[in-house]
Structure formats: C-alpha cells, structure tokens
A = this chain, B = another copy of it.
Amino acid sequence: MALNFPNKKPIPKKQINKANLGMDLEQMLNDSNEFYLANDIAVIHKKPTPVQIVKVDYPMRSKAVITEAYYKVPSTTDYNGIYKGKYIDFEAKENHNKTAFPLKNIHPHQMSHLENIIKHGGIGFLIVAWNLYNEYYLLPFEVAKEYWDNAIEDGRKSIPYEIFKKRAFLIEESYLPRLKYLKVVDEVYLNK
C-alpha cells in the first residue's frame, strides 16, 4: 500500500488535469497575475468590484462598516496593466454553455472601452473559460466585435464553440502561472 500524507486521499492520475475544476477563472487569473508580478514579468491587476456606497456606520473603537451599498454596472473591463511596455486590457468571463458563448455576458460599455483601448495603441481582448470543457481561450477583441455587431443586425447573440476553436487561442494551463495567457499575448500581439 502506498504511503499518503494524513487527510489526503490518493489522486488518480487521470484526474490531475481536472485539478482546476471548482477553482474559478477570477482566482486563476489573480494567481497568474501574482506570479507575473512576483517574477517581474508584468504588472496586471483586477479592478475592485464597482459598488455604490450609501450608508456607512462608525462604531466606537472599531473600523467603519458599510451597511448599505449596491453593485454598479462596470464602466470598464475587469483587468488592466502593463506588459513589456504595452498597455494590456481585458475582460474575463466564464461560460457554462456547451455550444456557444452568449454575448449578453458582455456589457456594451465594456465593448466600447476595449475598442477605445485598441484605438489608443493598447492590447485588448477577452478571456473566456469554457467550464464544461475545462478550456480557457484568449478571444481577440476584433472577433468578439464581429459577432457583437452581427447580433445587433440579425439577432444572433452568441459566438459558437467552433469559432473559438478556429479564431481564438487556447491558453495553456500550468502550475505557475495557472494560466499562461501572456504567452498567448506574445504570440498573437507581439509576434513572438
């Protein structure tokens, strides 16, 4: 019988690549960004969740407590920062569907924000997690935009999985960083 550390069940080899199931995309990206920062590769952070603060209490001898606040619609994307001197900006979305990524997941001002970023010389994209397949893609803004504009014209409101296979870029998973998305940025945007 093999030795195991206390409280740890043996992990069958086949399940290893499912290790991230249950870990959400945000956590994986935050871990990756922490790795990139600690190793002087890039400075990319998630922006705080935008909240409208209405009421704050100041109990004696303890810190301020926000007792009434509301979620606000974000006016920009979730992540931005700098990599190799370039401004980087992206939105991250999880997709639980099997055949298509619904565009209702993206806010209109997030699309126009990314469009502005690109116009000003930055790099803008989406990262989409296909949870059923445990796959992560970098979706160039231009591809998203094409389907976004079509959606307005002919009622289609999603990007099919085949389009991800053809026109988005699979992000490699690893231990450190969890998602090697800057490797894809190198290949797609910096011609490396």
Residues of B within 8 A of A113 (CB): 43
| Known pairs A37-B116, A45-B76, A70-B66; A82 contacts B121 (CB<8 A) | yes
Q: Is the CB of A84 within 8 A of B120?
A: yes
Q: Is the CB of B51 within 8 A of A85?
A: no
Q: Does A96 contact B (CB under 8 A)?
A: no
Q: Is the CB of B86 within 8 A of A42?
A: no
Q: Does A48 contact B (CB under 8 A)?
A: yes
Give complex CA distance A64, B53 in Å. Answer: 13
Give complex CA distance A85, B53 in Å. Answer: 34
| Chain A contact residue count (CB 8 A cutoff) | 39
Question: Nearest 8 CB-CB pairs, A to B?
Answer: A85-B121, A48-B50, A66-B69, A82-B87, A87-B87, A48-B48, A82-B120, A82-B122
Given contacts A51-B69, A66-B68, 19 further A-B contacts (CB under 8 A): A40-B116, A43-B113, A43-B116, A43-B122, A48-B49, A51-B53, A63-B71, A64-B70, A64-B71, A65-B69, A66-B71, A67-B67, A69-B69, A82-B120, A84-B120, A85-B87, A85-B122, A87-B87, A87-B122
